[in-house]
Structure 1
Amino acid sequence: MEIKKIRGNIGRIVSSTSLLLLAASSVFYWNLVRLGYAVPIPYILDVFCLNKCPADELNILHTQFPPDNLLNYDKPLRQILGEPDKLDKNRISILVEKSKYRLTVYDSKKPVKSYPVVFGGNPTGDKLKAGDLRTPEGVFSIKDMYPHETWSKFLWLDYPTKQSWRKHVKAKQNGTIGWGDSVGSEIGIHGVPANSDNIIKSRSNWTLGCVSLQNKDVEELYGFVQKGTAVEISP
């Protein structure tokens, strides 16, 4: 009987220890994901191409482009699209062209208005890791939006996406970045500090990787987008 009790106690101890280790491992892994050091479990098959990887170059949302100038920049967006509370915002998408320092609002895939923008302090090239001061390229969506105490409004993008993770892992594999580098996070579209519109006018790339507009522009844009609005960022 004593041996059975001992075995039973050992079994309970092993089970409890296993559960504690599992819980600790889960918390540790979740923290690595949150900090950008581990690929989220739902992304693993696509990031490591255990399923067939989609061609990154085909991940394009907009095929019609405005002329080289700022399209309808002198017109209020309300004058073009009507009142935002009466608009089907599912029709709205955004294209950011880094080489042209331009953000364009699209209605049903047709360009309707452009704004001048600037980027991260290292504007050329795609973002591969935290701290590289680059603005990521690809197709994203707005995951949240809220007023910002310093930059007027913040449209938080869902970077890193599966595509972002795939490029990050590939860069580690080919030695472009280190294995200890994080993919980064907190990328969005926002304004500038008060009375700093000249940052945009002079094309001074000042952010850590976000897209920045004049405050009056991001405030106008804010009323016409929603959570889920698609945002394409091209080179």
Structure 2
Amino acid sequence: MWLGRIFLMLAVVLGLSACGGSKFRTYDGPEVTSIQVHKSARKMYLLHNDEVLQTYDIALGRVPEGHKQFEGDGKTPEGTYWIDRRNPRSEFHLSIGISYPNEADRAYASSMGKPPGGDIFIHGHTGTKNPRTGKKNRGDWTEGCIAVKDREMEEIYAMVRNGTIIHILP
């Protein structure tokens, strides 16, 4: 009887450890030299030079068409930026920051008397509950960020380094 309990406890412990618990992965493949986001196709590509390493389905800002111009417009920026920061404690699982706004974005918003906004990230939580609203995320739902599934974000977080160029296309 006690042997059966020990076996059962051992099976539970091994089963739980096999689930992996860490959201921090390692990556030792080819360097990600750039990221391309194709907003109209809802796709993001991680590239090593001209070779596509990974492809992801994405969600965008709640107003997906057009370039982000002002804080609160719900649009995802368009243009060339770079990855400029990492947030391992993101409320959206993990996130990597995009360098929006650039000088031109700030100048345009200023000329219109509005702030350009900021805090644009690639982050997790597609298809799960939004920690801010408690509602299930469907379709385009962010305030201008690019969202992927949590497990995909773990992979992206491991693969992409600060300084990586990101091209966000209409």
Question: Under a length normalisation based on structure 1, what TM-score does the superposition of the two structures give?
Answer: 0.54
Alignment partner of 1:142 is 2:83: yes
CA distance in structure 1 between the partners assigned to 2:147 and 2:90 by the alignment:
15
Alignment partner of 1:208 is 2:143: yes
Question: Under a length normalisation based on structure 2, what TM-score does the superposition of the two structures give?
Answer: 0.73
Q: Residue 151 of structure 1 contacts residue 194 of structure 1 at CA under 8 Å; is this kept in 2?
A: no
Label 1:126 to 1:213 Cα distance change in 2 as closer, same or farther (>3 A).
Answer: same
1:94 is aligned to 35
Q: Which runs of 5+ in 1 are unaligned?
A: 1-82, 173-177
CA distance in structure 2 between the partners assigned to 1:166 and 1:157 by the alignment:
18
Question: Which of 192, 205, 209 is equivalent to 2:125?
Answer: 192
CA distance in structure 2 between the partners assigned to 1:99 and 1:185 by the alignment:
22
> Residue 229 of structure 1 aligns to which amino acid in structure 2?
T
* 1:233 to partner: Cα distance: 0.5
CA distance in structure 2 between the partners assigned to 1:112 and 1:147 by the alignment:
23
CA distance in structure 2 between the partners assigned to 1:159 and 1:195 by the alignment:
26
Label 1:111 to 1:87 Cα distance change in 2 as closer, same or farther (>3 A).
Answer: closer
* 1:111 to partner: Cα distance: 1.8
Alignment partner of 1:106 is 2:47: yes
1:182 is aligned to 115
* 1:136 to partner: Cα distance: 0.4
Task: Tell me the alpha carbon deviations over residues 149-198 of structure 1, each in whole angstroms, 9 at most, x when there is no partner.
Answer: 431111011111123235435xx4xxxxx42x101111110011784497
Please identify which structure carries the higher strand content. Answer: 2
* 1:222 to partner: Cα distance: 0.8
Alignment partner of 1:217 is 2:148: no
* 1:219 to partner: Cα distance: 0.8
How many positions carry a matched residue from both structures? 140
Label 1:150 to 1:112 Cα distance change in 2 as closer, same or farther (>3 A).
Answer: same
Cα RMSD between the aligned structures? 2.3
CA distance in structure 2 between the partners assigned to 1:126 and 1:195 by the alignment:
26
CA distance in structure 2 between the partners assigned to 1:149 and 1:141 by the alignment:
19
Q: Which has the larger radius of gyration?
A: 1
> Residue 218 of structure 1 aligns to which amino acid in structure 2?
M
Q: Residue 140 of structure 1 contacts residue 230 of structure 1 at CA under 8 Å; is this kept in 2?
A: yes
CA distance in structure 1 between the partners assigned to 2:64 and 2:82 by the alignment:
21
CA distance in structure 2 between the partners assigned to 1:206 and 1:185 by the alignment:
16
Q: Residue 94 of structure 2 contacts residue 153 of structure 2 at CA under 8 Å; is this kept in 1?
A: yes
Please identify which structure carries the higher helix content. Answer: 1
Q: Which runs of 5+ in 2 are unaligned?
A: 1-25, 131-135
Q: Larger RCO: Structure 1 or Structure 2 (Cα < 8 Å, ≥ 6 residues apart)?
A: 2
